Amino acid sequence: MIEFRSRSWVLLSSLLVLVLLGGFLITPFKHGQTPVDYSSKHADVYKSPRQNVWAELTASEAASVNEYIFKEHASLNLTKHPKSGRDNFIFGVETLKPNKTDTISYLYNDGPSPPERWAKAAIAQNFDDGPYMAYYMVGPLPITEDSVMLPLEYIFNSGRNYVKNPVQDWAAIQDFALAMAENVSDITQELLGATANRADPSDPHGLLAFPRPSRIETGGFTLWMQFYRPGMGSNARTLLPQGIYAKVDATSSDVTKWSVGQFYYNGVLYESAGDFRTALADPNFERTPANIDGPWTDTEDFESKPPGRELPPPVSIQPYGPRYKFDRKERFVSWFGFEFYITTAQATGVSLFDIRFKGERVMYELGLQEAMAHYAGDDPMQGGLEFLDTFFGMGKNAFELVPGYDCPAYADYLDVEFHQSQKTHFTPNSICLFEYTADYLLSRHTAQYSVTASRNTFLTVRSVSTVGNYDYTIDYVFYMDGTLEVKVRASGFIYAAFYTANNTKSEDEYGHRIHDALASSMHDHVINFKADLDVAGPKNDMVRMALEPITQSYEWDKPEHPERNTMHLVEYKVTEEAGIDWPKNSGEFYLVYSSDQKNAWGERKGYRIASGSGTRPHLTILNSTTLGDSARWAEHDIWVLQNKDTEPRSADPLNYFTPHDPIIDFTKMADHENLEHNASGSSYDGDLVIYFNVGAHHVPHSGDVPNTLMHTSGSSVKFVPHNFNDRDPSRESVQGVRLQLKGSKSGGFAGEQSEPSGDLKNRMNRRTKGPDTTKAMYFGATYDKGIKIPLEALEPSMEEYVSEEHGVTDLSYNGSAAGVWHRE
């Protein structure tokens, strides 16, 4: 029994009601199966060398944890079926990822048994001063008489396992918003041609109002509510803001004590609804056009027929089955030297663990930490708008993937389970795994007598998280040379601003006019990932290798050039925890080296952190008024820190509740601790961790209507081997061809069966003594006969798939990775 000595041990409560936007995606095939099976996939059963110690809880494990909490901790007065935000309940349970120090002996030192398995529980409870939410750890698993439930504090540098929930009853807020809208129905009818329908909020012709909360130091917060049209079923609500805003005093936790104050319209602030009505009656009152839905928000065009649309586009096929090996039970993957485990979490989605290449350690962990969007504007909504998307759940909002579209039809699709509100929720086919050949080569070379071309084939682990208006496609990509790439692409409806006709500012200060009554709103997307690098082992150093100009004197250059203007490499060791930005002119290499392992040439084995595609921004806003200390990781591009069991993440979903006093404060992690593990008296062992950001400075334009496009929003960071291998390891894995060119001195090929291995003289003679009978030599297998492919391999039939409705959050206080209650 847990003794609650103070509110430090309280379990917390929730806020919210899940408001649904009717989003439909397909459940396209039997769960856990590939939709097209025209080859023998994984004919040989493949087994992981070890247990996946990071795997999500099974349904039976989750049920046993829930049962244990109810049975052994009845004093918490929990209910299994909460009816309001004032009920105490278990919001959800999931795996508490084991500490790295408890795992490495099992992974790397042939330890006989895996680390203990524990569960993490988020529990909601109300107290006299309001609702709270807290984390607890339950274990060891399986549940026995020795299992315990303890406050989960050690991974939070705030020193507490809980936060206070600023909203007690989201349903009451919605009712308040509709009542407020009804009270000004005369104004909305006059200016917008519509009113709120409190009896039927889903009325496609009605208005809704949504709040942007602003926390205040005295407790509680102020709400600015903006009117929206529901979007006629198009899910385009964030493209349909209306130009009326109402300010609500929400400092009391009791919604019945809230009051409506100022109104804002067309650049003018009115002290009350009465003043607004008086101004509206003036014949000289300046109006703005209403923002009306229509075909312009449709994401599909079924009618246009430009030349070429009558034919289907090219597609990729995999006739002989996959070349990777996959243990579906343990979610372990092996492909051309790479090996890794896949796991998931409700807040952050897919993570990878124990990544190795050619048997050597590369990374212990690679995964999403947080996805932030921060807006700017001169109206009450856009002026302080920000989102931390793990609050809504990047994992639990990763829905089914569409075969042949999201991923190739031949991909392996993985199901995901998560456990909330006493139920196991099953999301089929929400992760895909596939090999793909790029439309550009890995390498090529044209010589005097031959041309060599090497195909660029890579492996991808993909998921798509739909958080309100955006769909984030997250890829972990593996290349044959040992390179890893993390790439995020976004598509969806922008969160737009109402266009103000009475414009007193510079026309394009925050965005552009993109429709009759709509303006774009500039914002930063900063998406944070963790890369726990273990380059050839746990002891690593980070250096900045700079390309710098220099004036140098060389004896061999005299007397013609007493001094030569040139450049050289200068290495700067990163000696303390720091945030680093991408260098000007790409003038530095960021390298993580092994402290004690070298390649055959005596060079330190390393990996380079390299900028990939798109932009890789950090937050433009300095000391964000809205974010406070909840996302300081967004202020630089790359961070290097000591790796600690007590600092497993850079952020937590509950930071959204208390941004000025977050449960994880990144500034307490990146606090300039020493990174010189060979220094006298240093207790640091050389195990460092990298946090890095991808994203975009997004200034939407007319091309973002109706949807932002993925090829313009892609952003990636790569981890590239740097002296990690003795030579390019892709040579032994890549597929390609060497073509002999016609000529009087054109000879044979290096590597032909008739050629003695390593005989340089023979090789040179064959290249110069005339043509050979061999015209092409392939390295790797080729397709050598025709293959009959069923139609489903080219175009899976969507007509045969069953649709299921998903609850998609509307990006307000209506859902979180920490706690919700849902009023049926």
Active-site residue set: 389, 470
Q: Contact 113/105 with Cβ under 8 angstroms?
A: no
Q: Closest Cα partner for 692 from 603, 612, 799?
A: 612
CA R_g for the chain: 30
CA 761 to CA 169: how far, in whole Å? 83
Torsion of CA 410, 477, 480, 544, to 10 degrees: 180
Listing DSSP states for 665-703 in one string gives -HHHHSS--B--TTSTT----S-EEEEEEEEEEE---GG
CA 214 to CA 384: how far, in whole Å? 8
Q: Contact 121/136 with Cβ under 8 angstroms?
A: yes
Determine the straight-line distance between the first and last CA of the chain, rounded to whole angstroms. Answer: 33
Q: How many other C-beta atoms can be found within 10 angstroms of the C-beta atom of residue 606?
A: 26
Q: Tell the residue number behind the tokens 């790569």, with chain if given.
A: 718
Return all residues near 747 (Cβ < 8 A) that are at least 6 apart. 449, 765, 766, 767, 768, 769, 770, 771, 772
Listing DSSP states for 142-155 in one string gives SP-TT-EEEE--TT
CA 65 to CA 605: how far, in whole Å? 44
What DSSP designation does 795 have? S
Residue 312: strand, helix, or coil: coil
Residue 576: strand, helix, or coil: strand
Preceding peptide of 706 cis, ω within 30°: yes
Both structure tokens of 338: 């790479």
Q: Closest Cα partner for 422 from 98, 684, 62, 685?
A: 62
Q: Could you tell me the CA-to-CA distances from 824 to 71, 123, 747, 781, 821 in Å, in that order?
A: 27, 20, 78, 58, 10
Q: Closest Cα partner for 638 from 613, 622, 616, 671?
A: 616
Phi, psi of 732 (to 5 degrees): -85, -10
Preceding peptide of 307 cis, ω within 30°: no
Reported as half-sphere exposure (CB side, CA atoms, 13 A), residue 285 has a value of 18
